[in-house]
Amino acid sequence: MAIQDVLDGICRYFGGAYDPDTRTYRSSPVTGVGVVRRAWPTDDAHQDYFLGLGDGARTGCQVVVWIPRQHEVRRAVGGEHSGLKQIVYEVVLHCYLRSRTPYAEDAQDDAYALRDALVAWMRRERTLGGACFQAGEHVTEGGDGIDIEYSQPATKSGLTKSYFQMRFAAVEFVQA
Protein backbone atom coordinates (compact mmCIF):
# COMPACT_ATOMS: atom_id res chain seq x y z
CA MET A 1 0.00 0.00 0.00
CA ALA A 2 1.32 3.45 -0.88
CA ILE A 3 1.91 5.98 1.90
CA GLN A 4 -0.76 8.21 0.31
CA ASP A 5 -3.29 5.37 0.75
CA VAL A 6 -2.36 4.96 4.42
CA LEU A 7 -2.64 8.72 4.95
CA ASP A 8 -6.00 8.87 3.14
CA GLY A 9 -7.31 5.91 5.17
CA ILE A 10 -6.33 7.54 8.47
CA CYS A 11 -7.90 10.83 7.38
CA ARG A 12 -11.12 9.03 6.40
CA TYR A 13 -11.22 7.21 9.73
CA PHE A 14 -10.98 10.42 11.74
CA GLY A 15 -12.59 12.83 9.25
CA GLY A 16 -15.23 10.95 7.27
CA ALA A 17 -15.73 11.14 3.52
CA TYR A 18 -13.26 13.01 1.32
CA ASP A 19 -14.44 16.21 -0.38
CA PRO A 20 -12.36 16.67 -3.56
CA ASP A 21 -13.45 20.31 -3.98
CA THR A 22 -11.91 21.39 -0.66
CA ARG A 23 -9.33 18.57 -0.39
CA THR A 24 -10.62 17.88 3.14
CA TYR A 25 -12.56 15.29 5.12
CA ARG A 26 -15.66 17.11 6.30
CA SER A 27 -17.95 14.69 8.13
CA SER A 28 -15.97 13.56 11.16
CA PRO A 29 -17.54 10.94 13.41
CA VAL A 30 -15.54 12.39 16.32
CA THR A 31 -17.44 14.95 18.39
CA GLY A 32 -15.69 18.31 18.26
CA VAL A 33 -13.81 17.85 14.97
CA GLY A 34 -14.90 20.19 12.21
CA VAL A 35 -12.49 19.19 9.45
CA VAL A 36 -9.56 16.82 8.88
CA ARG A 37 -6.78 17.62 6.40
CA ARG A 38 -3.82 15.79 4.81
CA ALA A 39 -1.75 18.99 4.76
CA TRP A 40 -1.69 22.44 6.29
CA PRO A 41 -4.20 24.78 4.63
CA THR A 42 -3.20 27.69 2.44
CA ASP A 43 -6.25 29.54 3.79
CA ASP A 44 -7.06 28.90 7.46
CA ALA A 45 -10.84 29.35 7.32
CA HIS A 46 -12.29 29.89 10.82
CA GLN A 47 -15.59 28.22 9.87
CA ASP A 48 -13.79 24.91 9.15
CA TYR A 49 -13.10 24.48 12.88
CA PHE A 50 -16.86 24.43 13.54
CA LEU A 51 -18.07 22.65 10.39
CA GLY A 52 -21.00 20.36 11.20
CA LEU A 53 -20.81 21.01 14.95
CA GLY A 54 -24.06 22.91 15.27
CA ASP A 55 -24.81 26.54 16.06
CA GLY A 56 -24.24 26.15 19.80
CA ALA A 57 -20.74 24.67 19.54
CA ARG A 58 -18.38 26.68 21.70
CA THR A 59 -15.15 24.91 20.64
CA GLY A 60 -14.14 23.44 17.30
CA CYS A 61 -11.10 21.71 15.90
CA GLN A 62 -9.18 21.31 12.68
CA VAL A 63 -6.96 18.20 12.51
CA VAL A 64 -3.96 17.91 10.19
CA VAL A 65 -2.73 14.32 9.78
CA TRP A 66 0.99 14.07 9.06
CA ILE A 67 3.37 11.16 8.61
CA PRO A 68 6.85 12.60 9.28
CA ARG A 69 8.70 9.28 9.41
CA GLN A 70 8.52 5.64 8.45
CA HIS A 71 10.70 2.64 9.23
CA GLU A 72 10.83 -0.68 7.36
CA VAL A 73 12.28 -4.05 8.41
CA ARG A 74 12.08 -7.61 7.07
CA ARG A 75 10.28 -10.19 9.18
CA ALA A 76 11.45 -13.60 7.85
CA VAL A 77 8.63 -16.11 7.94
CA GLY A 78 9.62 -18.91 5.54
CA GLY A 79 13.41 -18.71 5.27
CA GLU A 80 15.86 -16.06 4.11
CA HIS A 81 14.09 -15.35 0.78
CA SER A 82 10.52 -15.36 2.03
CA GLY A 83 8.70 -13.21 4.50
CA LEU A 84 7.05 -9.91 5.16
CA LYS A 85 8.18 -6.33 5.36
CA GLN A 86 6.93 -4.50 8.43
CA ILE A 87 6.42 -0.81 7.76
CA VAL A 88 5.94 1.45 10.76
CA TYR A 89 4.51 4.89 9.99
CA GLU A 90 4.92 7.55 12.65
CA VAL A 91 1.59 9.41 12.57
CA VAL A 92 0.89 12.78 14.15
CA LEU A 93 -2.57 14.28 14.48
CA HIS A 94 -2.02 18.03 14.81
CA CYS A 95 -5.16 19.27 16.57
CA TYR A 96 -5.79 23.03 16.32
CA LEU A 97 -8.65 24.27 18.48
CA ARG A 98 -10.62 27.51 18.49
CA SER A 99 -12.95 28.26 21.37
CA ARG A 100 -15.52 31.02 21.81
CA THR A 101 -16.07 30.31 25.51
CA PRO A 102 -16.01 33.26 27.90
CA TYR A 103 -13.60 31.34 30.17
CA ALA A 104 -10.26 29.83 29.16
CA GLU A 105 -10.83 27.03 31.69
CA ASP A 106 -13.84 25.84 29.66
CA ALA A 107 -11.74 25.90 26.49
CA GLN A 108 -9.12 23.75 28.20
CA ASP A 109 -11.80 21.31 29.36
CA ASP A 110 -13.03 21.11 25.76
CA ALA A 111 -9.50 20.28 24.59
CA TYR A 112 -9.29 17.44 27.10
CA ALA A 113 -12.74 16.20 26.05
CA LEU A 114 -11.64 16.21 22.40
CA ARG A 115 -8.52 14.25 23.32
CA ASP A 116 -10.73 11.68 25.08
CA ALA A 117 -13.04 11.47 22.05
CA LEU A 118 -10.13 10.96 19.61
CA VAL A 119 -8.57 8.22 21.75
CA ALA A 120 -11.94 6.50 22.24
CA TRP A 121 -12.55 6.59 18.48
CA MET A 122 -9.10 5.17 17.82
CA ARG A 123 -9.67 2.32 20.30
CA ARG A 124 -12.84 1.26 18.44
CA GLU A 125 -10.90 -0.22 15.54
CA ARG A 126 -7.19 -1.10 15.74
CA THR A 127 -6.90 -1.01 11.92
CA LEU A 128 -8.42 2.49 11.72
CA GLY A 129 -11.06 1.25 9.33
CA GLY A 130 -8.59 -0.82 7.27
CA ALA A 131 -6.01 1.96 6.84
CA CYS A 132 -3.31 -0.25 8.39
CA PHE A 133 -2.70 -3.56 10.19
CA GLN A 134 -2.75 -1.90 13.61
CA ALA A 135 -2.34 1.55 15.12
CA GLY A 136 -1.63 2.93 18.56
CA GLU A 137 0.04 -0.24 19.82
CA HIS A 138 3.58 -0.60 21.12
CA VAL A 139 6.10 -1.49 18.41
CA THR A 140 9.86 -1.69 18.69
CA GLU A 141 10.68 0.85 15.99
CA GLY A 142 8.95 4.22 15.98
CA GLY A 143 6.07 3.95 18.38
CA ASP A 144 5.04 3.32 21.93
CA GLY A 145 1.27 3.45 22.10
CA ILE A 146 -0.53 6.79 21.95
CA ASP A 147 1.34 9.91 23.06
CA ILE A 148 -0.38 13.26 23.64
CA GLU A 149 1.41 16.58 24.06
CA TYR A 150 -0.36 19.87 24.82
CA SER A 151 0.76 23.43 24.22
CA GLN A 152 -0.19 26.46 26.27
CA PRO A 153 -3.46 28.06 25.11
CA ALA A 154 -3.62 31.74 24.17
CA THR A 155 -6.68 33.96 24.63
CA LYS A 156 -7.16 37.22 22.74
CA SER A 157 -10.27 39.22 21.79
CA GLY A 158 -12.69 36.59 23.14
CA LEU A 159 -11.11 33.67 21.26
CA THR A 160 -9.00 30.98 22.89
CA LYS A 161 -6.60 29.16 20.58
CA SER A 162 -5.03 25.93 21.69
CA TYR A 163 -3.16 23.00 20.22
CA PHE A 164 -2.24 19.45 21.03
CA GLN A 165 -0.71 16.63 19.08
CA MET A 166 -1.59 12.96 19.22
CA ARG A 167 1.30 10.76 18.10
CA PHE A 168 1.09 7.01 17.39
CA ALA A 169 2.53 4.32 15.15
CA ALA A 170 0.54 2.73 12.34
CA VAL A 171 1.90 -0.64 11.23
CA GLU A 172 1.53 -2.30 7.85
CA PHE A 173 2.84 -5.64 6.55
CA VAL A 174 3.57 -6.30 2.87
CA GLN A 175 4.83 -9.40 1.05
CA ALA A 176 8.56 -9.17 0.41
State the Cα torsion 133-136-140-144 to the nearest 10°.
180
Provide the pLDDT for residue 90: 94
Provide the pLDDT for residue 18: 97
Smallest CA-to-CA distance from 7 within 85, 90, 124, 123 is with: 90
Question: Which H or E run contains 67?
Answer: strand 59-76
If you average pLDDT over residues 36-41, what whole number do you get?
A: 96
If you average pLDDT over residues 102-121, what whole number do you get?
A: 95
User: Residues 125, 133: contact at Cβ < 8 Å?
Assistant: no
Q: Give how far Cα 146 sits from Cα of 102, 104, 106, 141, Å.
A: 31, 26, 24, 14
Burial group, residue 145, by CB count within 10 angstroms (0-12, 13-18, 19+):
exposed
Q: What angle do CA 113, 115, 107 make, to 5 degrees?
A: 50
Asked if pLDDT for residue 135 goes beyond 60, the answer is: yes
User: Residues 131, 9: contact at Cβ < 8 Å?
Assistant: yes
Local confidence band at 174 (pLDDT 50, 70, 90 cut-offs): confident
Higher pLDDT, 45 or 16: 16
Question: Which H or E run contains 65?
Answer: strand 59-76
User: Residues 83, 75: contact at Cβ < 8 Å?
Assistant: yes
